[in-house]
Chains A and B, each alone.
Chain A
Amino acid sequence: MREQLVQFGEDGRLAGILSPAQNDEQNTPVLVFLNAGIVHRIGPNRLHVKLARAFSAQGFPCLRFDLSGLGESPAAAPGLGYEQQSVVDVTAAVDFVMGRLGERPVILAGICSGADNGYRVALLDERIRGLILLDPYAYQNTTAQISDLAKRAQDPARWRRLAGKLTSGTQHKQAEEEFFEDDNDRVAPPKEEFGADLETLATRNVQICLLYTSSVSHLINDKVQFGKTFGKFDFGSALSVDVLSHVDHIYTELSAQSELADRIRGWLKTTSFR
């Protein structure tokens, strides 16, 4: 079925493309794809287009759109910060799909900052019945920490930088800290907060698919770790977690893109979103 250009939100500012479902049924969930970083709505490697067309052909309507100030959507009036404005925009997208398609479960899907925005909105909006979180917040445990430190110690570039700093007069302690510092500057909420939030969502019966890739292997490199890290929380059967250590953050390889589509398809098929 032909895709439709749509505009919604305040003054119709937010621009998106709706992929109507083939053989649409009233209660079939709608998938909403959220921007990854500042990449416009087609997604890294055109991933959102590929997934939206694949899933709409299988009966799931899909919306991809641009947050304020990204892609084809102009910036909002100053006032709200990025996170608050994203919540307003995603909520407007949910209002739009409900109005256009009728009340039905909504699943938010996103990579990295898209996952973060989906998680934030789901906590506030009970219409969200599912989340596909690709490289959401991750927290290091001992196993990953040891593995990560060993890897850093084998990185010649780090040793060269350390030697350069020590010979150029940088204080020993500072150089040592920089040798082990994390390259990733993404700020996650405290682990306890993230775990409690996931538990709240699980209690509300929000179904959550979390997929981690090699980009966070210094934090999590095995799905068993996730269970240990959040062992004190009760997620019931709402969470599906896996680590794809052979895949990069934006699913660059075509085989990785196929694997992602297969995993989401399998999760959609075996999950009830009521």
Chain B
Amino acid sequence: MTPIYFGPTEKPLYGVFHPAHVRAARAPAILLCNPFGVEAIRAFRIFRILAEKFAQAGSPALRFDYYGTGDSAGDCAQMSVAGATENILTAHQELIDISGANRVVWVGLRLGALFALLASQARPKGLAGLALWDPVVLGADYLRDLKTAHVAGLAQVFDQSEGVILSKRKDANFASEASGFLLGKEFRDQMLDFDLSQIASRPARSVAIITGEEQHELVSHLESVSTDITLYEEEKTQSWNADAAMNAFVVPVGSLDLVSTAVGKMR
């Protein structure tokens, strides 16, 4: 694997390219789209393993950090939905350039799935499929969940009630931070503004949804824009996505197999 910087010189993005270990004629290249915030830290090792799994099977893979996240340039305040969407398109072209692939499948986890859906609307050349893993598709609900998790996390570590936690903070709404990460105004506004009507055209020839939750709204919307969808049912427990997993080598092997299977079946 090779760490790289790519994208605009003044706003470099950090990525790691995993070249294919074997030649596989029809294998697409894989672009991994990170979740956000603490979920991106929890998913780091999983994405590294997943990228290597694809590379071993003949698919070159690229994982990367959005602007304002991870090792990429920029402050958290500069991270935005529009920016992350643009970054996916930049990474897509970078992957084509360095791998020589003409077909790319995007794998988006949690908020990365929403970013991938939005980026697909630019209809980039070579996009062959989308694998949406535990997708986040309702921006307002997601922001609410971030706040809930943030307050519950603080209540636990300080051994106080959530009411006490809220009453002691100046920004009691916790609108601008979540579990260690700043939520910029632009990011919040764009999340609140998002709805599925922004996915007005078919995202890609093949779309797979890997999830343990009901996704009626997303499925019905994608069907309305003539998308060929395959659903893969995942175990409901997201063992990787918990505080306890932060200091343990938790890898959801079953989910990785589902994602690999979903991508392998895309034509």
Contact = CB atoms under 8 A, between A and B. Distances in A.
Interface of A: 2-3, 5, 15, 17, 37-42, 44-47, 49, 71-72, 151, 155, 214-215, 248-254, 257
A210 B44 CA distance: 29
A215 B181 CA distance: 20
A3 B72 CA distance: 9
A252 B180 contact: yes
Q: Main secondary structure on chain A at its contact with chain B?
A: loop
Contacts of B153: 252
A72 B159 contact: no
Contact of B44 (A45, A71, A253, A254): A71
A42 to B, nearest CB: 6
Contact of A2 (B12, B38, B41, B158): B12
B85 interface: no
A249 B157 contact: yes
Interface of B: 1, 3-5, 12, 14, 16, 38, 41, 44-45, 48, 69-71, 73, 76, 150, 153-154, 157-159, 176-177, 179-182, 246-249
Nearest to A246: B158
A262 B256 CA distance: 42
Contact of B3 (A5, A214, A251): A5
A252 B155 CA distance: 12
11 contacts: A5-B4, A17-B14, A17-B71, A38-B247, A44-B41, A44-B246, A46-B69, A155-B159, A248-B158, A252-B153, A252-B154
Given A250-B180, A252-B154, A40 B16 contact: no
A151 B159 contact: yes
Given A37-B247, A44-B246, A72-B3, 7 more contacts: A3-B73, A5-B4, A38-B248, A46-B181, A49-B71, A72-B1, A257-B180
B157 A42 contact: no
A214 B158 contact: yes
A252 B150 CA distance: 9
Q: Main secondary structure on chain B at its contact with chain A?
A: mixed
B157 A39 contact: no
A41 B157 CA distance: 23
Contacts of A252: 150, 153-154, 157, 179-180
Nearest to A7: B3
Contacts of A215: 157
Contacts of A253: 154, 177, 180
A3 B38 CA distance: 23
B78 to A, nearest CB: 12
A46 B181 CA distance: 8
B180 A45 contact: yes
B131 to A, nearest CB: 23
B154 A248 contact: yes
Contacts of B182: 254
B157 A40 contact: no
A214 B157 contact: yes
A46 B12 contact: no
Contacts of A250: 180
A37 B70 contact: no
A17 B48 CA distance: 18
Contacts of B41: 39-40, 42, 44-46
Nearest to B48: A72
A273 to B, nearest CB: 27
A44 B180 contact: yes
Nearest to A47: B180
A10 B182 CA distance: 37
A250 B157 CA distance: 10
A39 B246 contact: yes
Contact of A46 (B76, B158, B249): B76
Nearest to A40: B44
B105 to A, nearest CB: 23
Nearest to A48: B71
Q: Which 7 A-B pairs have the closest CB atoms?
A: A45-B180, A37-B247, A248-B157, A252-B180, A254-B177, A5-B3, A40-B44
